[in-house]
Structure 1
Amino acid sequence: MQPRSQFSQRPSETIPITPTEPDWWKHRLFCYWGDQSMLRFGRNRKKPVKVRRLITLKKRGFFWLVLPVTGNKHPDFFCLSRTECICLDDEKPNSLYDKGYLCPRAETVPQVGLITEIGVVNHLTTPKILEWYQKHQMSL
């Protein structure tokens, strides 16, 4: 298993790959990103967690929660460049990760129980998120 410092690694490439959209994409989330997110740190919280950084693709009507891009590519993920994103964080409206974001393709994420309200990830989905994340951890 790689150390957690992998998230600060400089990406080798940030050329976006066309996303694969799920049929339930509209106004839904299927990945979580934030300074204290369950996905990034594997924390099992007892209460829903508010999103720290919520972005949406420009010229699209749906929302994504994503991870910062790392140095490695993986076929189950696609990259979003900074210019393709809009930050919806009211406190830091211009806060976007310079190197872009990493987002899972729809077909690689467990969809049962993972569809959430915008801005909140229910703690009951944590085991499903972590199980999926651990399988991909070496590639991130």
Structure 2
Amino acid sequence: MLLLDSKKWEKAVEQKDDKSIVIEYGIKGEDVKNFKWTQLVTVQYFVITDNFKTTLDEYYKTHIGAIEAIAKNSEKPFEKKIIYQNKNEILYEWKFDNAKETEIARVVYTPKGIYHIHFAKKGAFTNEEKAKYIDLLKTAQLK
């Protein structure tokens, strides 16, 4: 279980090898593996290696570019906004298909790897949810 708020988050997916880890948490009882979820937390870590070298900006642009391509191909609207950025991290949000799916996320670049934490929701975040998740992302301790 993941303790973030009053919801019961359970690990739904975990993939890892010596170069990366991806863990997805869904609300208990939802079927994350078959995309039947209302909210999702994804935690990713990618090791910087000779075969995977990137900067914070390159990583962000590649990640957002992939989502923009999906939106363009489906002819659905896509909005993105950087909420906060410094030389080592970006906090951003995006909305797909008139906010039918939204995400707030933080990317942190270190010399050894990139951390990427996402909060996704089917539908729009309320102002209260958005503020809460931004605060959680800003204060998350990465190890």
TM over 0.5: no
When normalised by structure 2's length, the TM-score is 0.31
Which structure is higher in strand share? 2
**Which structure has the larger Rg over C-alpha atoms?**
2
Higher relative contact order (CA 8 A, sep 6+): 1
